[in-house]
Amino acid sequence: MSRRQFRPPPRGGQSPPDDTGCTVLHVDMDAFFAGASLLARPDLVGTPVIVGGGHRGVVLSATYEARAFGVTSAMPMGRARRLCPQATILPPDHELYARISQSVMATFADITPYVEPLSLDEAFLDVAGAVRLMGSPAMIAQRIRDTVADEQGVTCSVGVASTKFVAKLASSLAKPDGLLVIPAAEVVTFVQQLPVAALWGVGDKTEESLARLGLKTVADIAHTPRETLVRALGNATGSHLHDLAWGRDPRSVEPVRRERSIGNERTYGHDVDDPEVVHRTLLGLSEKTASRLRAAGLVGRTVSIKVRFADFTTISRSRSLRDPTDVSRDIAAMARDLYDALGLQRARIRLIGVRVEQLSEAASTPVQVALDEPEHGWREADRAIDRASARFGAGSVRPASLLRAGDDDRGRPSTASPGSDLE
């Protein structure tokens, strides 16, 4: 049974569900990137639409009309086109998505300071402190849905429950454009009627292990001794699943969630075997990554690259800098060194990526200036570029090497893969 087929337990009568104590909300935008892209194309509303890169890219998002044909996020665009040839393909607009996401998160912050973003399009909220002024949790959830729809023109689904795990399950069941409350007294009944795949942390391999034990539903897990699960799955996984099967999830909403890494990657429209083209791509990706670090007020110490070849074999390499940085030049130099050290010669490359890890707050990290760096050095130059980009648009100021002719068909990469920008 797929997650889209999950159903809440039947409820008799028309009275609203009891949301007492259900102060955890999970808000999930509905097909967010597709919905946002349709704001400029209202004529496509109600039709199959796929948002993604070129033929060799992957699906960033798809409308529910396209999903009905089996199109899913992260699916290769070639396969998506075969499944739904009548779909309209729209290029992603990441600046638009970021702008709407910031506004949506601001709406959450107006309600409660306890907001835990999971990505651009979903977040947990703890509204315990807002109930007194704004009404019941269900009323707050509906207020969020109305505000987002009225102000941003996109829809969201909200799960309301007593724990994060159940709230997230509820929001998935409420999709699209719905609201579902799981009363605290009904959590065990609700959870145990679901298949094992519904549990947080159950992937394909864990599901196979549970199937070998004859466990197909959450109720099966709940009534299996914890010791049996631990022996089969290990202490952490076995105990975790047993607790979830009884609706136990002690995690609180964490209002600050620090990024583990920031990066960008690009898929080429055609396989590339020219090192100079790869070098220019690494420079462009490093510029974007450094800009995002500065925007987030972060610096990073470890630079890593990812290389995917024409046969989809993928390798990664990383190295730590002496000092944390948010300077484009430092990141680009390390990325190039990592790539050159691979000695690939004329290998055919499909995708290249740059990522910065071991992040820390820039304000609390001393800046080390090199002895040969001028008084107004690369860091100040980067900030001047940031100011120009904010005023005239992203890409208005770029390194001269990225403006070379000949990058269009042979070297210009397609749109970045979804989900690869931020972890």
Q: Catalytic amino acids?
A: 122
Please report where in the chains the tokens 């605290």 appear, as a residue: 184
Residue 11 backbone dihedrals phi, psi, to 5 degrees? -130, 130
CA dihedral (379, 387, 356, 400) in degrees, to 10, reads: -80
In 3D space, the residue among 35, 69, 239 whose CA is nearest the CA of residue 153 turns out to be 35
**CA torsion through residues 299, 304, 309, 315, sign:** negative
Task: Give the pairing of strands 179-181 and 88-90.
Answer: unpaired
Q: Return the half-sphere exposure (C-beta side, CA atoms, 13 A cut-off) of residue 24.
A: 23
Q: Is there a binding annotation on residue 407?
A: no
The number of angstroms, rounded, from the C-alpha of 154 to the middle of its chain's C-alpha atoms is: 18
Q: Is there a binding annotation on residue 28?
A: yes
For 84-113, b where at least 16 C-beta lie within 10 A, e where not — what string? beebbbbebbbeebeebbeebeebbeebbe
Give every CB contact of residue 158 below 8 A, 6+ residues apart in sequence: 25, 26, 27, 28, 141, 142, 144, 145, 170, 171, 174, 178, 179, 180
Q: Return the half-sphere exposure (C-beta side, CA atoms, 13 A cut-off) of residue 293.
A: 37
SS3 of residue 181 by DSSP: strand
Residue ranges of the annotated binding site for Mg(2+) are 28, 121
Residue ranges of the annotated binding site are 28, 121
